[in-house]
Structure 1
Amino acid sequence: MKILHTSDWHIGKQLHKYDLSPDLDLFFEWMINYIKSANIDVLLISGDIFDQANPSQAAYKQYYDLLKNLINLDCKIILTGGNHDSAAVLNAPKELLRSFDITVIGGATDNVSEMFVEIDKNGEKLVVAAVPFLKDRDIRKSVAGETYATKIEQIKSGLETYFSNINRYYQEHFSGEPFIVMGHLYVQGSTMSDSERDIQIGNQAGVEAYMFEEIPDYVALGHIHKPQLISQTQKIHYCGSPIPLSFSERKDHKQINVITIKDQAITDVEIVPIPKHRNLITFEGNLQEVVGKLEEYSEETTLKSLAEIMVNEEVESIERRQTFEELINSQPNAHLEIVKSRLNFKSKIRGASDAFAVGTDVADVTPMQMFEKKLELQSGLENTDELKLAFREILQELNL
């Protein structure tokens, strides 16, 4: 039996207002062909199917077009909700999709057994615990007057207890059969990029790898967009996002993970690279240097490359600002498009209006970043950790 592990599709994602649906279309086309050629039996998608809790009509169409193509394959599909997803949105067609051998677990269920999926194909058996993103209310009870540190510890403890219960249920009902646990969370030691959204009061509530107790034969994680192996002995993997979702991911080598089960045991975990169809490039220097680098770029890719430019000048001047704006608007190279730009002056008087650098689009700043910057500008505030905690909880409740 062969299992394909992928995650963090973020359907509907825009990179600084640039639509990334063509990138996903190419990935989906490649993935479907790979499933056919490699005879994949099971497809696991570990959260963040959509980029927004309320997807656009275009995002819905891309999602259902993909599912329509997948149901023509002899492949069991299991997908779980992530912190970007709305459990209600994912679960809405759940019963209909079940008839096409697609299991959807949009959010945590009251009964642990409902997250377990048994698979029997090609003479091999597999048990999958399809655990979605666990919200604060799924793992702990809030008490008025709690301190920030107490909430952090309760969340860590709650996650450990939840996955311990998952392991216990497996041992009581399926012991001896190959066991994969899906999850969407932050495990300490993993490397993050700029495009991951805070989970459970940021990353301070990240759990240790030992939480999985070495019981699962493979842990298929989502949330972190950089592919990485967390534990070789426990086979804990982040497969990462299939396409770069921020400029901090421009050097990542995107992949899927393919797990092979033979004679009721995992015999191999193969890392399969995903073809790259677009470059994300950063050009940095003074204005003259950046212009030169832009003019020299000549690599052609399937999709037009996207660029961020970071111009650093010594002294602020109106002329340099105007030249910078003209450069952005001119799009000086046919092989790429500038989608993010920033102009910094070293000699500049900063005030409250300068919370972010010149050239920063407010659409590129997350609500959390804006709130933290506001706190920095307010002198004399106490208990800022508690304020950040409260704000994160509001964002989580609103799925922002």
Structure 2
Amino acid sequence: MKILHTSDWHIGKQLLKYDLTADLDLFFEWLINYIKSEDIDVLLVSGDVFDQANPSQAAFKQYYDLLKKLINLDCKIIITGGNHDSSAVLNAPAELLKTFDITVVGGATQRVEDMFVTVEKNNETVVVAAIPFLKDRDIRKSAAGESYATKIEQIKSGLRGYFTNINNYYQQNYSGELFIVMGHLYVQGSELSESERDIQIGNQAGVEANMFGETPDYVALGHIHKPQVISREQNIYYCGSPVPLSFSEKEDRKQINVITVVNNEIENVDIIPIPKHRNLITFEGSLQEVEEKLNIYSEETTLTSLAEIIVNEEVESLERRQAFEALINSQFNSNIEVVKSRLNFRNKIRGASDAFEVGTDVADVTPMQMFEKKLELQSGLENTEELKNAFREILEELNL
């Protein structure tokens, strides 16, 4: 049996207002061809199917167009919800999708057994615990007046207890069968990128890898966009997002993971690179240096390269600002589209407008970064860490 692990599609995602629909279309086309050519038996999608809780009609169309193509393949599909997804939105067609051998678990269910899926193919049996993103109410009971530190510890303890219960249910009902656990959460030691939304209060409630215990044969994780191995010995993997979702991911090699099961054991985990169709590239230096780099850039890809421009100049001046604006608005290279730009002066006149560097787009700044900058500008404030923690809790409640 062959099992394909992917996650964090983020259908509907825009990179600084640039639509990534074409990137995902090319990935989905490749994915379908790979499933066909390699006779994949099971497809696992570990959360963040959509980028927004309320996807656009275009995002829904892309999702259902993909499912229509997948149901024509002899492949069991298991999809879980992530912190970007609305469990209600994902679950809405779940009963209908069951008829096409597609299991969707948008949110944690009341009954543990409803998140367990048994797959029997090619004389092999695999048991999958399809655990979606676990919300605060799924893992603990909140109390009025509790401290931030108490909440963090309760979340960690709640996650450990939840997955212990999952292992116990498996041992009581499926002991001896190959066992895969899906999850969408932050595990300590994971390397973040800029495009992950804070999960469970700024990732400070991240759990250790040993939380999963020794029971699962493979742990298929989602949420972290950079592919990485958390534990090779225990087969705990983040497969990462299939396309770069921020400039911090521009050097990442995107991948899927393919697990081969032989005689009820994992024979190997293969890392399969995803073809690259677009470059994200940063041009940094003085105005003259950046202009020269832009003009000589010649690498061609299927899709237009997206550029981040960072210009560093010594002395602030109106002339430099105007030259910078002219540079980013010029048609210097047909292979590039500038989606992010910043102008820095090493010696500049401080003023009320200096909260962020000149050229920073508000779309580049997270609410948390804006709040932290505001605290920096307010001299004399005490207990700033408590204020930051309180603000993180507000963002979590609002799902921002």
Shorter-normalised TM-score: what interval?
A: over 0.9
Residue 291 of structure 2 corresponds to 291
Provide the aligned length of Structure 1 versus Structure 2. 400
Deviation at residue 392 of structure 1 after TM alignment: 2.5
SS in 2 for 1:205: coil
Residue 18 of structure 1 corresponds to 18
Deviation at residue 373 of structure 1 after TM alignment: 1.9
Deviation at residue 382 of structure 1 after TM alignment: 3.2
CA distance in 2, matches of 1:393, 1:49: 24
Residue 207 of structure 2 corresponds to 207
Residue 42 of structure 1 corresponds to 42
Contact persistence 2:201–2:396 (CA under 8 A):
no
CA distance in 2, matches of 1:28, 1:132: 22
Deviation at residue 374 of structure 1 after TM alignment: 1.9
Deviation at residue 383 of structure 1 after TM alignment: 3.3
Contact persistence 2:316–2:349 (CA under 8 A):
no
CA distance in 1, matches of 2:115, 2:375: 41
SS in 1 for 2:256: strand
Deviation at residue 349 of structure 1 after TM alignment: 2.8
Amino acid at match of 1:280: L
SS in 2 for 1:354: coil
CA distance in 2, matches of 1:53, 1:170: 31
CA distance in 1, matches of 2:153, 2:223: 21
Q: Which moved more, 1:211-220 or 1:131-140?
A: 131-140
Deviation at residue 397 of structure 1 after TM alignment: 2.8
Q: Which moved more, 1:103-112 or 1:176-185?
A: 103-112
Q: Which moved more, 1:266-275 or 1:370-379?
A: 370-379
SS in 2 for 1:204: coil
Equivalent positions of 1:235-254 (< 5 A) are 235-254=235-254
Q: Which moved more, 1:64-73 or 1:350-359?
A: 350-359
Contact persistence 1:86–1:399 (CA under 8 A):
no
Contact persistence 1:352–1:377 (CA under 8 A):
no
**Identical pairs, percent:** 80
CA distance in 2, matches of 1:116, 1:350: 59
Residue 257 of structure 2 corresponds to 257
Residue 228 of structure 2 corresponds to 228
Q: Which moved more, 1:4-13 or 1:341-350?
A: 341-350
Equivalent positions of 1:246-325 (< 5 A) are 246-325=246-325
CA distance in 2, matches of 1:97, 1:392: 36
Amino acid at match of 1:297: Y
Deviation at residue 363 of structure 1 after TM alignment: 1.6
CA distance in 2, matches of 1:283, 1:267: 44
SS in 2 for 1:310: strand
Residue 97 of structure 1 corresponds to 97
Please say if 1:62 is aligned against 2:62. Answer: yes
CA-to-aligned-CA distance 1:55-100 (integer Å, 9 cap, x gap): 1111111111111111111111111111111111111111111111
CA distance in 1, matches of 2:337, 2:352: 31
CA distance in 1, matches of 2:394, 2:86: 15
SS in 2 for 1:313: strand
Amino acid at match of 1:148: Y
Residue 162 of structure 1 corresponds to 162
Deviation at residue 202 of structure 1 after TM alignment: 1.0
Identify unmatched segments of 5+ residues in structure 2: none
Equivalent positions of 1:141-220 (< 5 A) are 141-220=141-220
TM-score by length of 2: 0.98
SS in 2 for 1:109: coil
Q: Which moved more, 1:341-350 or 1:225-234?
A: 341-350
Residue 378 of structure 2 corresponds to 378
Contact persistence 2:118–2:127 (CA under 8 A):
yes
CA-to-aligned-CA distance 1:234-277 (integer Å, 9 cap, x gap): 10000000000001100000000000111111111000000000
CA-to-aligned-CA distance 1:159-213 (integer Å, 9 cap, x gap): 1011111111111110110000000111111111111111101122111011011
CA distance in 2, matches of 1:361, 1:272: 35
Q: Which moved more, 1:360-369 or 1:46-55?
A: 360-369
SS in 1 for 2:353: helix
Contact persistence 2:254–2:273 (CA under 8 A):
yes
CA distance in 2, matches of 1:28, 1:165: 35
Please say if 1:344 is aligned against 2:344. Answer: yes
Amino acid at match of 1:210: N
- Seen in structure 2, the aligned counterparts of structure 1 residues 138 and 387 have a Cα distance that, compared at 3 Å, is farther
CA distance in 2, matches of 1:214, 1:344: 51
Contact persistence 1:331–1:338 (CA under 8 A):
no
Amino acid at match of 1:48: D
CA distance in 1, matches of 2:374, 2:396: 19
Deviation at residue 155 of structure 1 after TM alignment: 0.9
CA distance in 2, matches of 1:16, 1:318: 26
